[in-house]
Structure 1
Amino acid sequence: MSRRAGILAATLLLAVSSAATISAHAQQAFPQPLPEEPIPSVATLPERYPDSYVYVHDFHFKALLDGRAAIVDVSSPSSSVKGHVSIAQFGTILPTTTGSEIYTGETFYPRLTRGERTDVITIWDKATLAPKGEIVLPGGKRGQFVTLRNAMQFTNGEKWMLVFNFTPGSSVTVVDLEARKILGDIDMPGCSLMYPTGARGFSSLCADGTMMTVLLDEAGKAKSTSAGKAVNDIDNDPWFMTPAMVGRTAWFVSFKGKLRGFDFSGDKPRDLGGFAMVPGDAEKGYRPGGWQIASSDAAGRIYVLMDPNGAPGSHKNGGTEVWVADTAKKTVARKIAMKNHTLSIEVTAGAKPYLVAALPSGSLDVYDANSGDFLHTVVDATNDPMTMTASGK
């Protein structure tokens, strides 16, 4: 055998030996072939979500047409994101607290960004996260802005929905969710958003500092309209428009750190008074800051996101501490230092609640709400988290 032939034979032998070794290792690593996976393969969620589930509205500023809400189990840092529902074009999400549906207010154009506008309420199944129907909203007037939870609300035992419209004239569309039909529109000039009031009705904050209340009849039409004296100091210390809810009581937070409670269980809002979390009226110092800046737990405590560098105009900057207020004693019971700069907060339901802090990065820091201890981070849960809604709240 020539030297060249010998080298070739040795090379072939080495290649065969290496292939045999790789095959043996592969058989050890994967002794059985992987089972065939059916396509499509769709997991399902429970029809009633655990208390640890939170809907995180990802506004998705870089692609507003592709907004969505992530359903996140904040009890664990891994496998936390359970699914998504889309919320197109400055949309809003409103999940039922006891039922099996999620509702989103959305806007569509046939040419993506142009053409005839269509506003809809999309109905999603909680278990499959699949769309199961929609209700077309007339007039192309659904309010479009960076999401606020009180732009869509339930009334009449979650049988009806209230949708805030802005053209810039403001009105409310009443939707019968059971019959899947529109009941009518109610004009409310100079007033914005809705706070469910009584058995069938809502209140709204108005530009003159008053609160207008509309009670509805059985057909969804306005039965009565009333307004009280000015309670919101628009010029000097206005309220954030998304309150922390304790049952039917709303606790509004002012830009300078005052709390003011209103009981909406009756036919008219009942003013419960309030107190200042921050003493004095300093131009700079601790002030509430962020987008969703307040939440509550099952014990009725109010959690407020605070910015130590607050000043006039800083109310959207976010914060680094959460102050826990005892409304019965009218005092700040404790303060929780945030691990990272925080944009929005939500507290989950139940006796052992989680405090969830949405970060500008899209991740979620999770704390034990009772102790204030940091637990873990859910990394990259969303792109641009704005509002959060805890399951069952």
Structure 2
Amino acid sequence: MAVERRRGMARALAAPLTLLGALSVLAAGPVRAADPILQTEESDIVKLPPGGPHRILVEDAVYRHNKDGRVYVVDTDSGKLLGMVQAAYNANVAADPSGRAFYVAETTWERGNRGKRHDMLAAYDPQTLEPTMDIDLPSRALVTPKKPDLAVGADGHYVYVYDTSPTNSVHVVDTAKKAVVQTVDVPGCALIYPWGTSGFSSVCGDGSLANVSLDASAKPTVTHSAPFFVPDQDPVFEHSPGVAASGHVWFVSFSGLVYDTVLDSDARISKPWSLQEAAGLKPASDAHAPFDVTWRPGGWQLAAVRARDSHLFILMHNGTFWTHKEPGTELWEVDLTTRKLVRRIHLATPSTMVGVTQDAASRIFLTDEAGDLNVLDGATGKMVRPIRKLGESLIFTVAPGE
């Protein structure tokens, strides 16, 4: 019996210990599985689909810290920023007409703000945004970004880079050879307005044009037009719009005169006509009456042409003669064939930039001081969508087919 009692006691004492152990297991929670073996991360490059007519490039000069300039790739149908490439200090951007590449001419210094200077021209794949060409330039004009500082010929074979070191000149880059094959001196002249596959013109200080044609070996022949405007009385805007394939440029003067010009070795310049008269107003005064207030063109990329129907889109404001940098408070659409105003679009926020696509369902692009890109319907002029806070200093656009 004692043994039985001892065994009973043993059994009685063992039971609480067993229950305590079970409670301990429950408190500890379920048994954890072994940690998974993490896979090695593999980097890749996202490839954009081929761009449509509404995928554009937008240059942001980022003036508050403009060593950090950039070019945005923007889908204006979705309103999305698809990508970005660097466009260092006062860079310029231009695109191959067939969409095979886009080009950025830029300048850097080895020690940031000092040291050896590097002037470069890079080509980027429009789908991967990877550089496909990266060459040194002898120099380039280090000025505020302007579209006519960098241009591409009609077939994309030549890229032209404007320079002022030591004198006014244009570097000719052969995109097949990926090299500078010629430097053309254009003394007293500036900027690049390409025509055809192997020619460009520059505007000269006396109001004439220097016309440069290149032969098969890129050897230049330079001719000059007669002066067609008086620079100190009514100069033409540097951002006057044109079409490289046809060599057609519409030079717009500060007073609002339009010089319909076909560029080649013997440029043909038509008698000017007035934007204000196209709108049923009196022609604007030039520098002889600088304080007359009327509607005048102004801005930075102040005009764009839709070549398929020869419509000019130009920013206008109410002001005196020397207000050519003022943003537009209205956008005027003018038929260049009939020289008549099609519509006047009031802008809720003033804009210094206008761009347009060339397709049947075209889009118009405007910007404002907040860095928004506003997308308008090209047929109605109505807002399609704003793209808020795209950048800081949106200065110009490059659309397919320009």
Q: Same fold (TM over 0.5)?
A: yes
Tell me which residue corresponds to 1:25: none
How many pairs align? 352
Q: Which of residues 142, 145, 149 is equivalent to 2:143?
A: 145
Q: Does the aligned pair in 2 maintain the 1:257–1:277 contact within 8 Å?
A: yes
Matches within 5 A, 1:118-133: 118-133=118-133
Structure-1-length-normalised TM-score? 0.85
Matches within 5 A, 1:254-333: 254-264=253-263, 266-278=264-276, 279-282=282-285, 283-297=292-306, 298-308=308-318, 310-333=319-342
Cα distance in 2 between the residues matched to 1:197 and 1:299: 20
Judged with a 3 Å threshold, the aligned counterparts in structure 2 of structure 1 residues 322 and 37 are, in CA distance, closer, same or farther, namely: farther
Matched, 1:372 2:374: no
Structure-2-length-normalised TM-score? 0.83
Cα distance in 2 between the residues matched to 1:89 and 1:167: 17
The structural deviation recorded for 1:51 is: 0.8
Tell me which residue corresponds to 2:191: 193
Cα distance in 1 between the residues matched to 2:322 and 2:76: 32
Cα distance in 2 between the residues matched to 1:133 and 1:175: 11
Judged with a 3 Å threshold, the aligned counterparts in structure 2 of structure 1 residues 59 and 36 are, in CA distance, closer, same or farther, namely: farther
1:242 partner SS: coil
Choose 107-116 or 330-339, whichever is displaced more: 330-339
Q: Does the aligned pair in 1 maintain the 2:123–2:132 contact within 8 Å?
A: yes
Q: Rg: which structure is higher?
A: 2
Matches within 5 A, 1:1-393: 40=43, 42-46=45-49, 48-77=50-79, 80-138=80-138, 141-155=139-153, 157-167=155-165, 169-222=167-220, 224-246=221-243, 247-248=245-246, 249-264=248-263, 266-278=264-276, 279-282=282-285, 283-297=292-306, 298-308=308-318, 310-393=319-402
* One-letter amino acid of the counterpart of residue 224, structure 2: A
Q: Does the aligned pair in 2 maintain the 1:100–1:127 contact within 8 Å?
A: no
Q: Does the aligned pair in 2 maintain the 1:197–1:269 contact within 8 Å?
A: no
The structural deviation recorded for 1:72 is: 1.1
* One-letter amino acid of the counterpart of residue 254, structure 2: F
Q: Does the aligned pair in 2 maintain the 1:203–1:213 contact within 8 Å?
A: yes
Q: Does the aligned pair in 2 maintain the 1:339–1:374 contact within 8 Å?
A: no
The structural deviation recorded for 1:39 is: 5.2
1:229 partner SS: coil
The structural deviation recorded for 1:194 is: 1.1
The structural deviation recorded for 1:156 is: 6.6
Q: Does the aligned pair in 2 maintain the 1:175–1:182 contact within 8 Å?
A: yes
1:273 partner SS: coil
Cα distance in 2 between the residues matched to 1:214 and 1:94: 20
Q: Does the aligned pair in 1 maintain the 2:95–2:152 contact within 8 Å?
A: no
Q: Does the aligned pair in 2 maintain the 1:361–1:383 contact within 8 Å?
A: yes
Cα distance in 1 between the residues matched to 2:133 and 2:225: 40
Cα distance in 1 between the residues matched to 2:88 and 2:390: 18
Judged with a 3 Å threshold, the aligned counterparts in structure 2 of structure 1 residues 156 and 285 are, in CA distance, closer, same or farther, namely: closer
Cα distance in 2 between the residues matched to 1:213 and 1:195: 9
* One-letter amino acid of the counterpart of residue 344, structure 1: M
Identity of aligned residues (%): 28
Q: Does the aligned pair in 2 maintain the 1:198–1:267 contact within 8 Å?
A: no
* One-letter amino acid of the counterpart of residue 384, structure 1: S
Judged with a 3 Å threshold, the aligned counterparts in structure 2 of structure 1 residues 343 and 168 are, in CA distance, closer, same or farther, namely: farther
Gaps of 5+ in 2: 1-26, 28-37, 277-281, 286-291
2:270 partner SS: strand
Q: Does the aligned pair in 2 maintain the 1:203–1:214 contact within 8 Å?
A: yes
The structural deviation recorded for 1:99 is: 4.0
Q: Does the aligned pair in 2 maintain the 1:322–1:336 contact within 8 Å?
A: yes
* One-letter amino acid of the counterpart of residue 228, structure 2: V
Cα distance in 2 between the residues matched to 1:94 and 1:50: 17
Q: Which runs of 4+ in 1 moved over 6 A?
A: none
